[in-house]
Amino acid sequence: MQTTAVNGANYLTYQGKYKGLLGWIFSTDHKRIGLLYLYSIATMFTTGVLLGLAMKFELLAPGKTIMEAQTYNSVFTVHGVIMIFMVVVPGLPAVFGNLMLPIMIGARDVAFPKLNLLSWWLYVSGVFLVLAALLFGKGSPDTGWTFYAPYSFKTGTNMLPAIFGAFVLGFSSILTGLNFLVTIHRLRCKGMKWMKLPLFVWTLYGTAWIQLLATPVVGITLVLVALERVFGVGIFDPALGGDPILYQHLFWIYSHPAVYIMILPAMGAISEIIPTFSQKHIFGYKAIIASTMAIAFVGYLVWGHHMFTAGMSGTAQYYFSLLTFIVAIPSAIKVFNWISTLYKGSINIQTPFYWAVSFIFVFMIGGLSGLVLGALATDVHVHDTAFVVAHFHYIVFGGTGFAFFAAMHYWFPKIFGRMYDKAWANTGWLVFFVGFLALYTPMFYLGMMGMPRRYYDYLEEFHGGNILSTFGSWVLATGFIIIVVNLVRSARKGAPAEANPWHGRTLEWTVPSPPPVLNFDKEPVIGENDGPYNYE
Amino acid sequence: MSGEKHHIVPYRLYFVVLIALLALTFASVWITSIELRDYTVAAALLFAIVKSYLVLNYFMHLKYDKPYIKIMVGFVFAIFLVMIVITFLDYLYR
Identify the domain containing residue B29 by its residue range.
9-60
Alpha carbon distance A468, A458 (integer Å): 15
Mean pLDDT of A341-351: 96
* Mean pLDDT computed over every residue of chain A: 94
Q: Domain check: are B53 and B87 in the same one?
A: no
Residue A374 identity (one-letter amino acid)? G
Q: Which helix (H) or strand (E) holds A495?
A: strand A495-496
A419 found inside a domain: yes
pLDDT digits (tens, 9 = 90+) for A55-102: 999 999 999 999 999 999 999 999 999 999 999 999 999 999 999 999
Q: In A, which residues are within 8 Å of B89 by CB distance?
A: 313, 315-316, 319
pLDDT surpassing 90 at residue A121: yes
Which residues fall within 8 angstroms of residue A444, CB to CB, at 6 or more apart?
A369, A386, A387, A390, A391
Q: Domain check: are B42 and B70 in the same one?
A: no
Please tell me the distance in Å from A1's CA to the nearest CA on chain B. 27
Q: Count CA within 13 A, CB hemisphere, residue A242.
A: 21
pLDDT surpassing 60 at residue B41: yes
pLDDT digits (tens, 9 = 90+) for A211-223: 999 999 999 999 9
* Mutation for B interface: A312, A326, A327, most B CBs within 10 A: A312
Residue A88 identity (one-letter amino acid)? V
10 Å CB burial of residue B65 (0-12, 13-18, 19+) is middle
Which residues fall within 8 angstroms of residue A100, CB to CB, at 6 or more apart?
A34, A200, A411, A414, A508
Interface touch B91/A313, C-beta < 8 Å: yes
Interface touch A316/B82, C-beta < 8 Å: no
| Nearest-CB residue to A314 (from B82, B91, B93) | B93
B4 found inside a domain: no
Question: With contact defined as beta carbons under 8 Å apart, do A255 and A215 qualify?
Answer: no
pLDDT digits (tens, 9 = 90+) for A279-305: 999 999 999 999 999 998 888 899 999
The single-letter DSSP state of residue A418 is E
Q: Domain check: are B48 and B25 in the same one?
A: yes
B2 found inside a domain: no
pLDDT digits (tens, 9 = 90+) for B49-58: 999 999 999 9
pLDDT surpassing 90 at residue A11: yes
Least confident of A23-32, A145-154, A440-449: A145-154
Q: In B, which residues are within 8 Å of A319 by CB distance?
A: 86, 89
Question: With contact defined as beta carbons under 8 Å apart, do A175 and A199 qualify?
Answer: no
pLDDT surpassing 80 at residue A2: no
Instruction: Provide the Cα torsion A99, A481, A121, A520; round to 10°.
Output: -10
B76 found inside a domain: yes
Task: Please tell me if residue B92 touches chain A, with a CB cutoff of 8 Å.
Answer: yes
Mean pLDDT of A186-209: 96
B17 found inside a domain: yes
pLDDT digits (tens, 9 = 90+) for A328-345: 899 999 999 999 999 999
Interface touch B90/A313, C-beta < 8 Å: yes
Task: Please tell me if residue A186 touches chain B, with a CB cutoff of 8 Å.
Answer: yes
The confidence score (pLDDT) of residue B55 equals 96
pLDDT surpassing 90 at residue B38: no
Alpha carbon distance A62, A338 (integer Å): 43
Confidence of residue B6 (pLDDT cuts 50, 70, 90): confident
Mean pLDDT of A362-370: 95
Nearest to A121 by CA among A99, A94, A145: A94
Percent of chain A with pLDDT over 90: 90
Please tell me the distance in Å from B80's CA to the nearest CA on chain A. 9
The confidence score (pLDDT) of residue A138 equals 83
The confidence score (pLDDT) of residue B87 equals 92
Interface touch B86/A314, C-beta < 8 Å: no
Nearest to A97 by CA among A83, A111, A110: A110
Interface touch A213/B87, C-beta < 8 Å: no
Alpha helices in A112-198 (DSSP H): 113-135, 151-154, 159-186
Residue A410 identity (one-letter amino acid)? Y
Mean pLDDT of A265-273: 97
Confidence of residue A133 (pLDDT cuts 50, 70, 90): confident
pLDDT surpassing 60 at residue A308: yes
Confidence of residue A8 (pLDDT cuts 50, 70, 90): low
A526 found inside a domain: no
- What is the CATH classification number for the domain harbouring A175? 1.20.210.10
Q: Domain check: are B15 and B56 in the same one?
A: yes
Q: Domain check: are B53 and B76 in the same one?
A: no
Identify the domain containing residue A429 by its residue range.
32-510
DSSP B32-58: GGS--TTHHHHHHHHHHHHHHHHIIII
Confidence of residue B7 (pLDDT cuts 50, 70, 90): confident
Angle at which helix A314-342 crosses helix B67-91, to 10 degrees, equals 130
10 Å CB burial of residue A158 (0-12, 13-18, 19+) is buried
Please tell me the distance in Å from A313's CA to the nearest CA on chain B. 4
| Nearest-CB residue to B89 (from A245, A297, A313) | A313
Overall domain count for chain A? 1
* Mutation for B interface: A178, A194, A249, A324, most B CBs within 10 A: A249
pLDDT surpassing 60 at residue A164: yes
Query: For residues A490-523, b (16+ Cβ closer than 10 Å) or e, as one string?
Result: beeebeebebbebebbbbbbbbbbbbbbbbbeee
Q: Which residue from A minimizes the CA distance to B81? A: A301
DSSP E strand boundaries for A333-473? 418-419
For chain B, what is the largest distance between any 2 Cα atoms, rounded to a whole number of angstroms?
A: 56
The confidence score (pLDDT) of residue B3 equals 54
The confidence score (pLDDT) of residue A174 equals 97
Task: Please tell me if residue B93 touches chain A, with a CB cutoff of 8 Å.
Answer: yes
The confidence score (pLDDT) of residue A203 equals 97
Overall domain count for chain B? 2
Mean pLDDT of A245-265: 94
A518 found inside a domain: no
Confidence of residue B9 (pLDDT cuts 50, 70, 90): confident
Q: Domain check: are B18 and B49 in the same one?
A: yes
pLDDT digits (tens, 9 = 90+) for A42-54: 999 999 999 999 9
Please tell me the distance in Å from A447's CA to the nearest CA on chain B. 28
Q: Domain check: are B54 and B75 in the same one?
A: no
Alpha carbon distance A386, A449 (integer Å): 9
Alpha carbon distance A340, A44 (integer Å): 36
